Amino acid sequence: MKGLLMLCHYYPPCPQPDLTLGISKHSDNTFITMLLQDQIGGLQVLHQDCWVDVSPIPGALLMTNDKFKSVEHRVLANKAGPRISVACFFSSSVTPNSTVYGPIKELLSEENPPKYREFTVPEYSNGYIEKGLDGTSNLLNYQI
């Protein structure tokens, strides 16, 4: 339970949603994110350089793993509101340690070299905070 965070968002109805953005594009700094949306919608994910709506399904939880595969997303304001979302983040950054994470050595070869360099959770988390919500993944800083 030390690595569990919960964040709730409330977006009031917006008379001019084309002039407003709920949350700018970003990817989360967590191992797993679970999101329960309401029926209003507004969540979008970036897929092949296009924003795609994630239609809410009643009773369904949306789960993402942003730490090791960047899932850039944003939330749009809308007239239908209010929109409510509850996100639960499961993250090792709450209880940082000095463990070094990296590719599994036994799976590496000349034909299959590492794609990312090794890092610690504090290093990754600090980079995420310093970078801010600029719409890019912090994981890009660790690519080889």
pLDDT tens for each residue of 78-101? 887 787 777 777 666 556 578 888
Question: Which pLDDT does position 113 carry in this prediction?
Answer: 93
Q: What is the pTM of this model?
A: 0.62
| Cβ neighbours for 35, distance < 8 A, ≥ 6 positions apart | 43, 61, 62, 63, 64, 85, 86, 87, 88
Question: Which pLDDT does position 109 carry in this prediction?
Answer: 94
Question: Which pLDDT does position 91 carry in this prediction?
Answer: 64
CATH number for the domain whose boundaries are 4-142 = 2.60.120.330
Question: Which pLDDT does position 106 carry in this prediction?
Answer: 93
Q: How many CB atoms lie within 10 A of CB 86?
A: 14
DSSP label at residue 17? G
pLDDT in tens, 29-72: 666 677 777 787 788 888 888 999 888 888 888 777 655 556 77
